[in-house]
Chain A
Amino acid sequence: MNGKYETHEHDVLVIGAGGAGLRAAIEALAQGASVGVVSKSLLGKAHTVMAEGGIAAAMANVDAADDWRTHFRDTMRGGKLLNHWRMAQIHAHEAGDRVRELEQWGALFDRTEDGRILQRAFGGHSFKRLCHVGDRTGLEMIRTLQDRGVQMGIDVYMECTVTRLLTDGDRVAGAFAYWRENGRFVVFKAKSIVLATGGIGKAYPVTSNSWEYTGDGMALAYATGAELMDMEFVQFHPTGMVWPPGVQGLLVTEAVRGEGGLLRNKLGERFMQRYDPQRMELSTRDVVARAIYTEVREGRGSEHGGAFLDISHKPAEYVKRKLPSMYHQFLELADVDITRSAMEVGPTCHYMMGGLRVDPETAACTVPGLFAAGEVAAGLHGANRLGGNSLSDLLVFGRRAGFAAAEYAKKQSWPALDPAEIAQGEGEMLCVFERQAGDTPYAVHADLQQLMQNLVGIFRTEEDLKSALTGIERLKDRMGRVGVPGTRMFNPGWHLYADMKSMLAIAEAVTRSALARKESRGAHSRLDYPKTDATWGEQNNIIRRHGSEMVLEQSPVPKMPAELQTLLAEEKGAGA
């Protein structure tokens, strides 16, 4: 029936080859499943390589008093209690084992004096908790997982983009994709699918994210009927580069502050005194990002509209050893020697706390056979993520998703593929070649990014969000008319056309959720509702598709057991 298309069959199909996808694939393979990994990029290039600061795990190698309870408490408080308590508990419980496992697969973390894994301080964490490799922890992690996967005989379909999930009745049946190299279509038939496609940063112009972060997994699953949750919570990392223009948004790791870096405005004031005198530079990201934004808006910013981040009071050799990538990044791209002078930094779109609603134990989405792990999933981080909790999230829930997807596949027969769905998939990708090229995907993308930055950024109002919704509708219309010159051979204009469909759906979801939540909490700041509201604190925003309409409703935040409530109420920890 699919003779027309190249077809591959796997028990478990993993979409995305970053930390979560690779960890899921390794686990599903270990469970005896046949596993295929589809990746938009070459293996080892996923956005995980850009993670810098470390992996949070309460291993107590440096601060003996640390344990999972404190990690749980910090994560919940950092997330303004909107987190799914059970995900936060599982995460705090299992992160240490997942780090040790990486070490046993060959990862080489920085060491303590007595030869154990070294841990560093980070914003919102009560103890020194981040296992790290200088400022290139993500690279170490992805290389370790990649090597492990290759040794196990993983099948990787590199430079292949999924544009549609296929279904058989209620359950998933596979995926429709194209090879980036030659534009040919390919069909994957699978009993279960793990989505590990990461976040949405490319919907914003100033972002630390790589081009791949276009919200694919969320959009694919949403189209298939899965629920999205808490989409209003987009994290702006406080410290991205602001100058020169070409590098605007590039991440400056929180490890700079973890290692003692100080934030100052143009008057030389350590302005965090005004926003969080207790934790100062090591406050949570939402607070520091708003602080820098406010300093700039009130005229105390640096020349290029940022704040100064200074680590030059530490010995030059120490800075070069602990922050080598930062040293080179600023020297080569901005002509700044960070061992001698301050960096100019400002907020950059960094991470999506919201995403697919999943079951805490199995990472299952609300569509049978579909699982999601890592940034594409919601729940663990609530309204704001702590630094270092992302890499541990990838490992903990990547493993759980891979395990559950393999278990699910064992119990299922092969699904049937629907030729009509495949034909639709082909049609929506090919129609663009038949149109006159006028408006291009590049132009629509640039306009979407500006809209998101201006109207759905760090500070939001009802008026802005409403006009954003109108604007997104207009952009959708334009996408219905864009043309793509050239052929299907490695054609980036065509690739962007595919990505834009995801970005527009996700932009709408973010805007609708932001409009609905009439309070300020964590990363979501409403100028017209500046206070935190206890009623909203008990509500998750849920989005699902109803025909062609996006519908939003509230669902109560799951209640945590009494013993965890007591634990959370204890005074210890980094404070709320």
Chain B
Amino acid sequence: MPEVTLKIFRGDREGGQTADYQVPVSPGMVVLDALHYVQKHLAPDLAVRWNCKAGRCGSCSAEVNGRPRLTCKTRMDSLPGDRPVTILPMKSFPVIKDLVTDVSWNYKVNKKIPGFKPRPKTEWKMRQEDVDRVQEFRKCIECFLCQNVCHVLRDHGKHEQFGGPRFFVRVAALEMHPLDGISRAALLKNELGLGFCNITKCCTEVCPEEIHITDNAIIPMKERVVDEFYDPVLKLVRRIRGEKSARE
């Protein structure tokens, strides 16, 4: 069986460096299989977060040869076989140990978002066409790879002022739910800092669920904020019609 060298980050909050491990490669093997091999045979205390190994739970995110990936869906044979494979933890979150990072910040952001609130006297009927676009967002497995690559977080560290692509997708899913009755435009503008996003689409590129984060979630949400806060004509029309507004 051919062998490959893995260069895996070993360390914790205090720092660390990569260590080399030789791993035999079998057909169809994914990076997470290789990490498990290392745990089993070479370094039993190598910290890796994973659950399903089926691309369903979004736990095993890491940076493989510089690309943010789910290690359970990254085939070894998709990587160049003649040089070492480098596996580092996600950069935008503090390292706990080895490949495990502290992603608790995401759960704090999520708590700021008001949940689904049905309109009064809702009749529970929806058309598939209206559900389709929300179902795209509901595919999100919370792997946080989009958060990891977003330069607002990765390079500028604006975790305090910015929610990140994952939560724009979450808000978009709520806002576009055919039966939802509240507006989250003020939240997007103020607390989640949607304005910081300058639509470079890095998030869309790394999404393992192929959600069109920028085009289908972020841009429509930006438009919604503009409509709510910066369009005087629309605002007047809304007031006359008595429609909902983020500022009421």
A residues within 8 Å of B by Cβ?
Answer: 41-47, 49-50, 100, 103-106, 108, 110-111, 114-116, 133-134, 136, 138-140, 143, 147-148, 150-151, 158, 181, 210-212, 243-247, 250-251, 325, 328-329, 332-334, 437, 440-443, 446, 484-487, 489-494
Contact A49:B52 (CB < 8 A) given known A106-B116, A150-B111, A244-B26: yes
Select which of B45, B135, B142 is within 8 A of A487 by beta carbon.
B45
Chain B residues within 8 Å of A46, by CB? 51
Contact A181:B96 (CB < 8 A) given known A45-B58, A332-B73: yes
Chain B residues within 8 Å of A158, by CB? 104, 107
Chain A residues within 8 Å of B104, by CB? 158
**What 1/0 flags go to B28-60 for Cβ under 8 Å of A?**
111001000001100011111111111111110
Chain B residues within 8 Å of A134, by CB? 135
5 residue pairs of the A-B complex, CB under 8 angstroms, read: A104-B124, A105-B116, A151-B115, A440-B40, A492-B45
Q: In the docked arrangement, what's the CA distance between A485 and B42, Å?
A: 11
Task: Say yes or no for B184: interface residue by CB 8 A criterion.
Answer: no
**Cross-chain contact A115 with B126 (CB below 8 angstroms):** yes
A317 CB to closest chain B CB (Å) equals 14
Q: In the docked arrangement, what's the CA distance between A133 and B137, Å?
A: 13
Chain B residues within 8 Å of A147, by CB? 115-116
Contact A111:B126 (CB < 8 A) given known A486-B45, A489-B12, A491-B47: yes
Tally of A-B Cβ pairs under 8 angstroms: 158
Select which of A105, A329, A485 is within 8 A of B45 by beta carbon.
A485
Select which of B44, B124, B131, B180 is within 8 A of A110 by beta carbon.
B131
**Cross-chain contact B57 with A49 (CB below 8 angstroms):** yes
**Cross-chain contact B177 with A492 (CB below 8 angstroms):** no
Contact A244:B28 (CB < 8 A) given known A44-B142, A139-B141, A486-B45: yes
Chain A residues within 8 Å of B218, by CB? none
Chain A residue nearest to B44 (CB atoms) is: A493
**Cross-chain contact B177 with A106 (CB below 8 angstroms):** yes
**Cross-chain contact B97 with A108 (CB below 8 angstroms):** no
**What 1/0 flags go to B84-100 for Cβ under 8 Å of A?**
00000000000011101
Chain A residues within 8 Å of B26, by CB? 244-246
**Cross-chain contact B128 with A140 (CB below 8 angstroms):** no
Chain B residue nearest to A328 (CB atoms) is: B55
Chain B residues within 8 Å of A493, by CB? 39, 44-45
**Cross-chain contact A246 with B33 (CB below 8 angstroms):** yes
**Cross-chain contact A148 with B103 (CB below 8 angstroms):** no
**Cross-chain contact B131 with A108 (CB below 8 angstroms):** yes
Chain A residues within 8 Å of B75, by CB? 332-333
Chain B residues within 8 Å of A491, by CB? 44-45, 47
Task: Say yes or no for B18: interface residue by CB 8 A criterion.
Answer: no
**Cross-chain contact B131 with A111 (CB below 8 angstroms):** yes
Contact A110:B59 (CB < 8 A) given known A246-B28, A440-B44, A490-B97: no
Task: Say yes or no for B232: interface residue by CB 8 A criterion.
Answer: no
Q: In the docked arrangement, what's the CA distance between A247 and B174, Å?
A: 35
Q: In the docked arrangement, what's the CA distance between A138 and B57, Å?
A: 11
Task: Say yes or no for B127: interface residue by CB 8 A criterion.
Answer: yes
Q: In the docked arrangement, what's the CA distance between A318 and B240, Å?
A: 45
Chain A residue nearest to B45 (CB atoms) is: A486
Select which of A50, A108, A148, A151 is within 8 A of B138 by beta carbon.
A108
**Cross-chain contact B30 with A211 (CB below 8 angstroms):** no
Task: Say yes or no for B110: interface residue by CB 8 A criterion.
Answer: yes
Q: In the docked arrangement, what's the CA distance between A441 and B40, Å?
A: 9
Select which of B52, B103, B127 is within 8 A of A111 by beta carbon.
B127
**Cross-chain contact B44 with A485 (CB below 8 angstroms):** yes
B residues within 8 Å of A by Cβ?
Answer: 12, 26-30, 33, 39-40, 44-59, 73, 75, 96-98, 100, 103-104, 107, 110-111, 114-116, 118, 124-128, 131, 134-135, 138-139, 141-142, 174, 177, 180
Select which of B28, B46, B116, B180 is within 8 A of A243 by beta carbon.
B28
**Cross-chain contact B98 with A490 (CB below 8 angstroms):** yes
**Cross-chain contact B55 with A43 (CB below 8 angstroms):** no
B131 CB to closest chain A CB (Å) equals 5
A398 CB to closest chain B CB (Å) equals 19
A16 CB to closest chain B CB (Å) equals 13
Chain B residues within 8 Å of A140, by CB? 138
Chain A residues within 8 Å of B103, by CB? 42
Chain A residue nearest to B59 (CB atoms) is: A45
A429 CB to closest chain B CB (Å) equals 15
Chain A residues within 8 Å of B73, by CB? 332-333
Q: In the docked arrangement, what's the CA distance between A147 and B140, Å?
A: 14
Contact A50:B44 (CB < 8 A) given known A104-B118, A442-B39: no
**Cross-chain contact A442 with B40 (CB below 8 angstroms):** yes
**Cross-chain contact B138 with A490 (CB below 8 angstroms):** no
**Cross-chain contact A492 with B51 (CB below 8 angstroms):** no
Q: In the docked arrangement, what's the CA distance between A251 and B28, Å?
A: 16
Q: In the docked arrangement, what's the CA distance between A136 and B138, Å?
A: 10
B29 CB to closest chain A CB (Å) equals 5
A132 CB to closest chain B CB (Å) equals 11
Chain A residue nearest to B12 (CB atoms) is: A489
A37 CB to closest chain B CB (Å) equals 13
Contact A245:B28 (CB < 8 A) given known A108-B131, A116-B125, A139-B141: yes
Chain A residues within 8 Å of B141, by CB? 49, 139
**Cross-chain contact A329 with B55 (CB below 8 angstroms):** yes
Chain B residues within 8 Å of A111, by CB? 126-128, 131
Chain A residue nearest to B49 (CB atoms) is: A42
**Cross-chain contact B115 with A148 (CB below 8 angstroms):** yes
Chain B residue nearest to A156 (CB atoms) is: B107
Contact A41:B12 (CB < 8 A) given known A49-B141, A108-B138, A490-B98: no
Chain A residues within 8 Å of B48, by CB? 492
**Cross-chain contact A139 with B56 (CB below 8 angstroms):** yes
**Cross-chain contact B139 with A136 (CB below 8 angstroms):** yes
Q: In the docked arrangement, what's the CA distance between A163 and B167, Å?
A: 34
B52 CB to closest chain A CB (Å) equals 4
**Cross-chain contact A45 with B51 (CB below 8 angstroms):** yes
**Cross-chain contact A210 with B44 (CB below 8 angstroms):** no
**Cross-chain contact B124 with A250 (CB below 8 angstroms):** no
**Cross-chain contact A42 with B116 (CB below 8 angstroms):** no
Select which of B30, B97, B134, B139 is within 8 A of A333 by beta carbon.
B30
Q: In the docked arrangement, what's the CA distance between A511 and B233, Å?
A: 73
Select which of A43, A110, A210, A247 is within 8 A of B128 by beta carbon.
A110
Chain A residue nearest to B29 (CB atoms) is: A246
**Cross-chain contact A442 with B44 (CB below 8 angstroms):** yes
Chain A residues within 8 Å of B107, by CB? 43, 158
**Cross-chain contact A210 with B39 (CB below 8 angstroms):** no
B43 CB to closest chain A CB (Å) equals 8
